[in-house]
């Protein structure tokens, strides 16, 4: 008998409203802000969007709305930032957290694969750790390019779970846990794919900036606990292997020797001012 879900797994963010505990998922997103290097990467993402010159910007998969205020602060007076998310739970939380911004923020429930906005509606468009949870990331980026005006900026921040690393004495069990966790995500290796998908969407001047993001042992346990439980339930790992693996991880943390993280990719580009290049041609460009 499989254990009931009690921690956020990689697939849960694709269906927040039907999760057994959406509050835990919101808490997970808040906890992620403490991960070393992530805040700096988010700041660089905003810099790539040239928000100081943007009158309208869009956050695709805005979640709790935590980044909307940061976007608004960088935009000119009177500018508007919009957020869209597939989850009613997340949009409700975003409305609560951005209520003080009034009409400067516009929020709605909707699908990233079919954005409910007209062509060329935004000067800047961003997506942040969302593509790993969707089935068709290429369509999401095509939609983002569509709603961005010619000359506008598009940027994405995405983990590549296939680059996850952990210094642990049990390398065999660690390899099983990290590999199956990556495979359980809808797009576990999306970070390395985004630059190519940007070009396929007809975006130009694509730049890529990788960064190593480090997590602490407490966050690691939040992230991996339920997945490791599933591996035990499925007899992929024994109870003894799991117990010893966690004990070793805790020992590393207590000794101040924990080291684990993954590579995150910041990809940014400009929408072409002329007719969009065909996907085949865009794929072959630098």
Please give the average pLDDT of every successive group of 10 residues along the chain, which has 286 residues: 39 52 64 78 95 97 93 95 95 94 94 97 97 96 98 97 97 98 96 98 97 92 94 98 98 97 97 60 38
Separation between Cα atoms, residue 50 and residue 34, nearest integer Å: 25
Which structure tokens are listed for 48? 């790539």
Distance between CA atoms of residues 152 and 122, nearest Å: 7
Query: Is 19 part of any domain?
Result: yes
Give the contacts of 178 (CB within 8 A, at least 6 positions apart).
Answer: 164, 166
In a domain, 179, yes or no: no
Of 82, 84, 127, 140, the residue nearest 108 (C-alpha): 84
What's the CA gap between 206 and 65, in Å, rounded?
26
Is there a domain that residue 169 lies in?
no
The structure's pTM equals 0.86
Phi and psi at residue 229, in whole multiples of 5°? -60, -40
pLDDT for 133: 93
- What residue spans of the chain are helical by DSSP H? 22-32, 38-48, 68-74, 88-97, 137-147, 171-184, 190-200, 217-233, 239-254, 279-283
Instruction: Determine the pLDDT at residue 286.
Output: 34
Q: What's the pLDDT score for residue 4?
A: 34
Q: How far apart are CA 98 and CA 104, in angstroms?
A: 9
Contact 17, 124 (CB under 8 A): no
Contacts of 255 (CB under 8 A, 6+ apart): none
- Helices within 78-161 (DSSP H only): 88-97, 137-147
When divided into structural domains, the chain yields a total of 1
Per-residue confidence (pLDDT) for residue 192, from 0 to 100: 97
Helix (H) or strand (E) holding 215, with range, is: strand 203-215
| Number of helices and strands in the chain (H, E) | 10, 7
Burial class, 214, CB count within 10 angstroms (exposed 0-12 / middle 13-18 / buried 19+) = middle
User: Going by DSSP bridges, is the β-strand pair 148-166/260-271 parallel, antiparallel, or unpaired?
Assistant: antiparallel
Residue 254 belongs to some domain of the structure: no
**73: domain CATH number?**
3.40.50.150
For residue 199, give its domain range: 12-161+186-214+264-272
Q: Is residue 174 in some structural domain?
A: no
Report d(CA 148, CA 119) in Å as an integer: 7
């Amino acid at each position: 008998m499989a254990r009931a879900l009690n921690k956020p797994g990689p697939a849960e963010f694709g269906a927040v409203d039907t999760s057994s505990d959406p509050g835990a998922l919101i808490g997970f997103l808040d906890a992620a802000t403490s991960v070393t290097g992530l805040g700096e990467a988010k700041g660089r993402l905003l810099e790539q969007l040239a928000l100081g010159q943007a009158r309208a910007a869009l956050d695709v998969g805005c979640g709790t709305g935590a980044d909307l205020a940061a976007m608004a602060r960088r935009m000119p007076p009177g500018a508007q930032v919009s957020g869209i998310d597939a989850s009613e739970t997340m949009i409700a939380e975003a409305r609560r957290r951005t209520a003080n911004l009034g009409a400067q923020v516009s929020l709605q429930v909707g699908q990233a694969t079919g954005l409910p906005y007209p062509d060329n509606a935004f000067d800047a468009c961003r997506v942040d750790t969302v593509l790993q949870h969707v089935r068709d990331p290429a369509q999401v980026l095509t939609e983002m390019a569509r709603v961005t005006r010619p000359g506008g900026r598009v940027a994405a921040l995405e983990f590549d779970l296939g680059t996850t690393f952990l210094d642990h004495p049990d390398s065999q069990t660690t390899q099983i846990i990290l590999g199956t966790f990556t495979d359980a995500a809808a797009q576990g290796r999306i970070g390395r794919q985004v630059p190519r998908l940007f070009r396929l969407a007809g975006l130009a001047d694509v730049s890529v900036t990788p960064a190593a993001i480090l997590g602490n042992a407490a966050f690691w346990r939040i992230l991996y606990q339920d997945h490791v439980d599933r591996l035990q339930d499925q007899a992929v790992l024994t109870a003894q292997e799991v117990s010893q693996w966690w004990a070793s991880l805790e020992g590393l943390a207590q000794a101040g020797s924990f080291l684990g993280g993954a590579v995150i990719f910041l990809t940014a580009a400009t929408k072409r001012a002329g007719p969009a290049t065909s996907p085949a041609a865009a794929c072959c460009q630098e």
